Structure 1
Amino acid sequence: MASRLVEQLGAENVSGASAIALSEQIRAVILDGRMTVGERLPSERALAFELRRSRSTVTRAYDLLEADGYVSRLHGGGTRVALPNAYVPPTASDDVSAIDLSIASMDSTPGLYDATVRSLPRLAALRGTSGYSLQGLPELRDAVAQRFIQRSLPTSPDEIIITSGALNALNLILTTIGRRGERALVEQPTFPHAMDSLHLHGYRIVPTPVDVDGWDAVHLMDVLLKVRPHVAYLIPDFHNPTGATLPEHVRDRIAATARNAGTHLIIDETTAELDIDRGWTPTPLSAFGPHVITIGSMSKIAWGGMRLGWIRAERDLIRRLLAVRPSFELGTALLEQCIAVELLADMPALTSHVRARLHAGREAVSAGLDGLPGLHMPPTPGGLSAWVDLGAPLSTRLALAARDHGLIVPPGPRFTVGGVLERRLRLPITLTPERTAEAMSRLRSAWDDLRTGASVPDRALKQAAVI
């Protein structure tokens, strides 16, 4: 069985690599967050055996990493992941000239300010209460339920819990129903922080492939029946990062198969409203069975600063979730809930703004990639990003090269299990056209560096990080 390091590197990606190249790849995995500080790495002998390289090559790679502070080595204690003492993960705020493409999110909707002002009387009326809202304001739960009803899925406010964002919702679900050591099915690629949450709750992850052309439905259902995972985390609408949408007839089959396998389906709908020109609106996957749990969020359609999401589930599970929630949280902030009520009351304006912004962002990314040899941007009918094909396994090298040009972009393997998909790069379509044009100019410079054989400056390698 391969070590976690080799799974993250992808043995084929480092086949024949020199000691310097191997150390750079390991450093990239550490800085991506795919290996955690303090985690033990394979011994020199074991890693050499796994990679079919000489032990001296691995020893030299570890020496280089130790010299730069990326591993610590103790006699009898093995080699463990570390970070340099002076290391501070850079963000766009550390350097005002940097452009951060690791976060695929738009700035706030123009209606946010007015919605906030309109929400204040509602908030003021709550001053006589305790201020704690374990399940969420009744009027907000009703507004969320109405969104499902408008999509042909009958829903009661009693089937809704308001949470502090979608990731908070996922962690509440896993805290309530999770089983350490069980298997979890995820798409490959998928939202990295969802994988982090599943790892945190002790799940062993089993991937199923999805690409811009869609899912391998046969493989997905075969895994459900043979592996019988405890949970399956899926993003069926404008999948992050590929942008694909799961066909209606496949939704029905997946729900039925998961029910037969005893698998809890956790459906992430945070991107479901991000339509540009898909041309059709699918039925929510929750419509195909009461065992389906749905997660939603305001962060992608209104603003990432609004940490507000929700869970839709059958009433028995809602009661269990409410029983567990006080162990780590006593509800969602009331101001965000009051604002969300106002925003959801004017969804046509909200979705119109989202559509226009995403369309402009998509066109800007397409224009910026035009003429770059070897790169292909697939059709992107909606969602957060374009899942760009680089034509060769260069994603990590390109991400590192981009750092020297003030561009933070996560490589394809950050979205995967096992360090694969080095041919892919996620490019957000959420920035303004002007900001996107500048980002694409910097990406072009990094791409030119790779094509001309320019080396990645050591300072860029030492400061690379994905947030």
Structure 2
Amino acid sequence: MASRLVQQLGAHNTAGATATALAGQIRALVLDGRLTVGERLPSERALALELRRSRSTVTRAYGLLEQDGYVSRLHGGGTRVALPHTTVSAPAADDDSAIDLSIASMDSTPGLYDATVRSLPRLAALRGTSGYSLRGLPELREAVARRFTERGVETDADEIIITSGALNAFHLVLATVGRRGERALVEQPTFPHALEALHRHGYRMLPTPVDVDGWDERHLTDTLLRERPHVAYLIPDFHNPTGATLSDAARSRIATSARHAGTHLIVDETTAELDIDRGWSPQPMAAFSPAVITVGSMSKIAWGGLRIGWIRAERSLIARLLATRPSFELGTALLEQCIAAELLQEMPALTSHVAERLRAGRAAVATGLASIGTGIPLPLTSGGLSTWLDLGAPVSTALSLAARDRGLILPPGPRFSTGGVLERRLRLPITLTPERTAEAMDRLRLAWDDVMSGASSIREEMPRSAVI
């Protein structure tokens, strides 16, 4: 079985790579978080065998990384991932001069301040309680349940738990139903932190492809029925990062297949309300099977700083979730819950604001792509957080590294995959203001020119090795 480093690199991407190129690819994995500080890397001999390269090439690559501070090597202790102790030219995520495109999220809704003020009497009324809220405030659970009902699946407040964001909800679900060593079906590409959560809970990944034009439904359902994974994680509405939406008919077939396979179907609806001009409204996945577990949050429709999420599930699972939750937290902050309860009374205004902001962001990205003049098309993007670009060649990691030198933090396509693929792809958020987007696209153009000025042979020769 391939080491995690080789899985992340993708052996096909390292074919023929020089020591300098190999070191650069490993550096990219460190910079965007695919390799973690302290993680042990394969020995020089083992990595040379896996990559079918000479040991001297691997030794040289590790030496370059050690020289720059990206690995540490101790006699008898192996090679481990590190970060430079000195200032490097690449901007950090907290550098005010950098534009961070690794976070696809908008600033707060204009109604957040007023909702906060209105929430204070609600919070004051809770002062006589313990302050712990394991299940969530009744009025907030009722508001979330009502929104599900409005969208097409009858829901009761007893089927809702309020959490500290959607990722927190996902971890709670995995802590409750998870089984180490089992398999998890995941979309490829998908939300990177969901992959990390599944890895942390001991799952082995079964990827199924999705692109801007949708899912390979036959592959997805065949994988469910043939492999019978323990869990499946899907983003059916404005998929992150492709922006695709699953049809109602496909939702029904997938939910049925998961039920027959005995698979826990976990649906992430964090992006479900981010509609610009899709033109139709699908039913929630839970409408097609009572066993579907749904997670959602307020982070994309209100503000990322409002750490409010939820889980919708059958009552029997809710009871198990509530029994598990005290092992790592005792509830969700009451002030945030009170604010969320106010905001959910204003969903038409919230979704209208979101659509306006995303429309402007999409237009700014389209203008920026045209200015680059490379013929990279803007795919259909009817909503969601981002647009998923086809670069025409497997240069995503190289572009990401060049972008850092231009003050732009830009995760490459493989960041959204399970094993070093998707080098032709790039996620560009449409969530920034038009002014900030224009500046980001100027920096992207410069980074693209940097890559292309020394990589014309890459565009001409490497597309054959790309994974579509």
Scaled by the length of structure 1, the TM-score of the pair is: 0.95
Alignment partner of 2:415: what SS? helix
Letter in 1 for 2:172: L
Structure 1 CA distance for aligned equivalents of residues 360 and 163 of structure 2 = 31
Equivalent residue for 2:136?
136
Alignment partner of 2:210: what SS? strand
Equivalent residue for 1:446?
447
Equivalent residue for 2:112?
112
Structure 1 residue ranges (4+ consecutive) displaced by more than 3 angstroms after TM superposition = 85-93
Equivalent residue for 1:283?
283
User: Contact 1:163–1:308 (CA<8 Å) still a contact in 2?
Assistant: yes
Equivalent residue for 2:72?
72
**Alpha-carbon deviations, 1:263-303, whole Å to 9, x = none?**
00000000000000000000111111121100010000000
Map 1:9-24 → 2, pairs under 5 A? 9-24=9-24
Equivalent residue for 1:167?
167
The structure-2 alpha-carbon separation of the partners of 1:23 and 1:374, relative to structure 1 and needing over 3 Å to count, comes to farther
Alignment partner of 2:83: what SS? coil
Letter in 1 for 2:414: P
Alignment partner of 2:282: what SS? coil
Equivalent residue for 1:310?
310
Equivalent residue for 1:462?
none
Structure 2 CA distance for aligned equivalents of residues 44 and 342 of structure 1 = 58
Map 1:76-115 → 2, pairs under 5 A? 76-86=76-86, 91-94=92-95, 96-115=96-115
Structure 2 CA distance for aligned equivalents of residues 199 and 86 of structure 1 = 31
User: Contact 1:164–1:332 (CA<8 Å) still a contact in 2?
Assistant: yes
Structure 2 CA distance for aligned equivalents of residues 266 and 435 of structure 1 = 34
Map 1:313-352 → 2, pairs under 5 A? 313-352=313-352
Structure 2 CA distance for aligned equivalents of residues 99 and 152 of structure 1 = 39
Alignment partner of 2:66: what SS? helix
Structure 1 CA distance for aligned equivalents of residues 91 and 120 of structure 2 = 36
The structure-2 alpha-carbon separation of the partners of 1:257 and 1:454, relative to structure 1 and needing over 3 Å to count, comes to closer
User: Contact 1:99–1:439 (CA<8 Å) still a contact in 2?
Assistant: yes
Equivalent residue for 1:458?
none
Structure 2 CA distance for aligned equivalents of residues 377 and 55 of structure 1 = 43
Equivalent residue for 1:154?
154
The answer to whether the aligner puts 1:393 opposite 2:409 as a matched pair is: no
Equivalent residue for 2:370?
370
Letter in 2 for 1:432: T
Structure 1 CA distance for aligned equivalents of residues 100 and 242 of structure 2 = 19
Structure 1 CA distance for aligned equivalents of residues 428 and 361 of structure 2 = 10
Equivalent residue for 2:460?
none
Structure 2 CA distance for aligned equivalents of residues 292 and 355 of structure 1 = 28
Structure 1 CA distance for aligned equivalents of residues 48 and 127 of structure 2 = 64
Equivalent residue for 1:419?
420
Letter in 2 for 1:298: M
**Alpha-carbon deviations, 1:423-445, whole Å to 9, x = none?**
11111000000110010011001
Map 1:238-253 → 2, pairs under 5 A? 238-253=238-253
The structure-2 alpha-carbon separation of the partners of 1:126 and 1:91, relative to structure 1 and needing over 3 Å to count, comes to farther
Structure 2 CA distance for aligned equivalents of residues 118 and 365 of structure 1 = 36
Map 1:33-72 → 2, pairs under 5 A? 33-72=33-72
Letter in 1 for 2:193: H
Letter in 2 for 1:247: S
Alignment partner of 1:267: what SS? strand
Structure 2 CA distance for aligned equivalents of residues 70 and 351 of structure 1 = 43
Alignment partner of 1:134: what SS? coil
User: Contact 2:91–2:409 (CA<8 Å) still a contact in 1?
Assistant: no
Structure 1 CA distance for aligned equivalents of residues 24 and 33 of structure 2 = 14
Map 1:110-259 → 2, pairs under 5 A? 110-259=110-259
Alignment partner of 2:379: what SS? coil
User: Contact 1:148–1:155 (CA<8 Å) still a contact in 2?
Assistant: yes
Alignment partner of 1:342: what SS? helix
Letter in 1 for 2:210: V
User: Contact 2:91–2:98 (CA<8 Å) still a contact in 1?
Assistant: no
Equivalent residue for 2:437?
436
Structure 2 CA distance for aligned equivalents of residues 86 and 217 of structure 1 = 49
Aligned residues: 454
Structure 1 CA distance for aligned equivalents of residues 93 and 210 of structure 2 = 30
**Alpha-carbon deviations, 1:314-371, whole Å to 9, x = none?**
0000011111111111111111111111111011001000000000000000000014
The answer to whether the aligner puts 1:297 opposite 2:305 as a matched pair is: no
Letter in 2 for 1:168: N
Quote how far apart the aligned CAs of 1:454 are.
8.5
Structure 1 CA distance for aligned equivalents of residues 215 and 140 of structure 2 = 34
Quote how far apart the aligned CAs of 1:126 are.
0.9
Quote how far apart the aligned CAs of 1:223 are.
1.1
Deviates more, 1:46-55 or 1:181-190: 46-55
Equivalent residue for 2:464?
none
User: Contact 1:251–1:285 (CA<8 Å) still a contact in 2?
Assistant: yes
Quote how far apart the aligned CAs of 1:73 are.
2.3
Structure 1 CA distance for aligned equivalents of residues 92 and 317 of structure 2 = 39
User: Contact 1:91–1:100 (CA<8 Å) still a contact in 2?
Assistant: no
Structure 2 CA distance for aligned equivalents of residues 102 and 224 of structure 1 = 31
Scaled by the length of structure 2, the TM-score of the pair is: 0.95
The structure-2 alpha-carbon separation of the partners of 1:381 and 1:163, relative to structure 1 and needing over 3 Å to count, comes to same
**Alpha-carbon deviations, 1:213-233, whole Å to 9, x = none?**
110111111111121111001
Structure 2 CA distance for aligned equivalents of residues 333 and 237 of structure 1 = 28
Structure 1 CA distance for aligned equivalents of residues 220 and 36 of structure 2 = 29
Structure 2 CA distance for aligned equivalents of residues 251 and 25 of structure 1 = 38
Quote how far apart the aligned CAs of 1:80 are.
2.1
**Alpha-carbon deviations, 1:156-191, whole Å to 9, x = none?**
000000000000000111111111111111100000
Alignment partner of 1:265: what SS? strand
User: Contact 2:91–2:405 (CA<8 Å) still a contact in 1?
Assistant: no
Quote how far apart the aligned CAs of 1:404 are.
1.5
Alignment partner of 2:356: what SS? helix
CA root-mean-square deviation: 1.5
Alignment partner of 1:354: what SS? helix
Structure 1 CA distance for aligned equivalents of residues 93 and 82 of structure 2 = 23
Letter in 2 for 1:106: M
Map 1:1-16 → 2, pairs under 5 A? 1-16=1-16
Consecutive unaligned residues of structure 1, counting only runs of 5 or more, are: 456-467
Equivalent residue for 2:466?
none
Equivalent residue for 1:403?
404
Equivalent residue for 1:461?
none
User: Contact 1:365–1:436 (CA<8 Å) still a contact in 2?
Assistant: yes
Structure 1 CA distance for aligned equivalents of residues 334 and 319 of structure 2 = 21
The structure-2 alpha-carbon separation of the partners of 1:63 and 1:164, relative to structure 1 and needing over 3 Å to count, comes to same
User: Contact 1:184–1:229 (CA<8 Å) still a contact in 2?
Assistant: yes
